Amino acid sequence: MQQNFSDDALRKFVGCDSDEQAAGTPASRSIWLFGIEHGTYMSRQEVDAEAQGDAVEDADDSYSIELQRRWPYNQRAFKLLTAIRGIPVQNWREFAGENQPFVKGSPGYFKGNLYPYACHNTSEWPKAAADETGFANKLDYQAWCRDRRLPVIRSWVEEYRPEVFIGVGTGYRNDFAKAVFAEAGQLEVSTVVAAGQERRLFYRADGDKKLVVVPHFSSAAGLNSDALLQVTGTFIAKFMHQ
């Protein structure tokens, strides 16, 4: 393992898109939405090139709504948040514009990832990733993250006390549980139905800590329709206020 990777991976909010203002406070709690990892792989050389201005036209340090709307993942995230607030998902553009979810400096909604290194998909581990992290394969990298990174995320949860922690990707539900509760398993299961399709949601509450793990937004078996996002948001809203 590369020491610089270890140091970076455990710093506060590395692998996240939002900032401390978006994270909320125990007195003014935010909704947190966490994916597995960033979906766009960018090597350190590419990051350096961008920092030097070679991609300045795409630079957007605020993580603005205009930038986020480019990506289907964020569009579906906005729809889910819209549904949680009891608004039809078709109104997600207005909701996002008014509430500025995940935008740096904007309170109420925080967006992050379990794993700090960006890859195009969860199964790949390019040579640059091995070189930069020092892990020869992704399984070793994930094992290290489970041991070292997830407790760090849990410390953020303890500090900021999100109103609900939403994990996106049910295949990683044990990792989400460890990131919130320090232990895997012990999740309840509920099924939502929309337009003849069923999806399983995993959830747990312990005091003021609440976790819901939902299917991924983009997979064939995921939350890939407005109807499914609406009923899932309704479930989360009820769970939040139990």
* pLDDT tens by residue, 4-41: 899 999 999 999 999 999 999 999 999 999 999 987 54
pLDDT band, very low/low/confident/very high, at 55 (cuts 50, 70, 90): very low
Q: How many CB atoms within 10 Å of residue 33?
A: 26
* φ, ψ for residue 20, nearest 5 deg: -65, -35
Q: Does the pLDDT of residue 45 top 70, yes or no? A: no
End-to-end CA distance of the chain: 43
d(CA 133, CA 1): 6
What percentage of the chain exceeds 90 in pLDDT? 80
CB 79, CB 88: distance < 8 Å: no
Q: What is residue 59's predicted lDDT score, i.e. its pLDDT?
A: 63
* pLDDT tens by residue, 132-145: 999 999 999 999 99
Rounded to an integer, the average pLDDT of 48-77 is 74
Q: What is residue 180's predicted lDDT score, i.e. its pLDDT?
A: 97
Q: What is the CATH number of the domain that holds 135?
A: 3.40.470
Burial bucket for residue 209 (CB in 10 Å: 0-12, 13-18, 19+):
middle
Q: Quick one: tokens of 122?
A: 């969860």
Q: What is the mean pLDDT of the chain?
A: 91
* φ, ψ for residue 168, nearest 5 deg: -110, 105
Q: What is residue 44's predicted lDDT score, i.e. its pLDDT?
A: 39
* pLDDT tens by residue, 148-185: 999 999 999 999 999 999 999 999 999 999 999 988 87
Side-by-side strand order, sheet with 109-113: 109-113, 31-35, 164-168, 209-214, 197-206, 188-194
Cα-based distances in Å from 130 to 56, 138, 144, 151, 191: 28, 8, 13, 23, 39
CB 17, CB 106: distance < 8 Å: no
pTM of the model: 0.91
Tally of domains in the chain: 1
| H-run or E-run covering 6 | helix 3-9
Mean pLDDT is lowest, of 22-26, 57-61, 100-104, 131-135, for 57-61
Q: Does residue 51 sit in helix, strand or coil?
A: helix
pLDDT band, very low/low/confident/very high, at 218 (cuts 50, 70, 90): confident
Q: What is residue 184's predicted lDDT score, i.e. its pLDDT?
A: 82
Q: Does the pLDDT of residue 46 top 70, yes or no? A: no
CA angle 108, 219, 188 (to 5 degrees): 65
